Amino acid sequence: MSVVTERDGLGEPVGRFGWNGGLGSVWYADPSEDMVTILMTGCAKFTLSPPNLYRDFWTLAYHAIDH
């Protein structure tokens, strides 16, 4: 479980919380947007930084609520 407590450049919004699962399942909740997102890829990740697919997913999710 992680909670974003401080904005880091173009990073995640403060207050967002969730989990990056090691086997490709990821979920986050953003209370300020009243939004819960879930991504299930079924692909294991073995790096500490999120794959581009994750970043693209979050970008599209936030873009969808802005329009």
d(CA 3, CA 36): 14
- The partner residues of 41 in beta bridges, in order of sequence, read none
pTM over 0.85? The answer is no
Averaged pLDDT for residues 60-65: 90
Residue 20: strand pairing partners = 26
Could you read off the pLDDT of 16-61 as tens digits, one per residue? 999 888 788 889 999 999 999 999 988 777 767 777 888 888 889 9
Domain ranges of the chain: 2-66
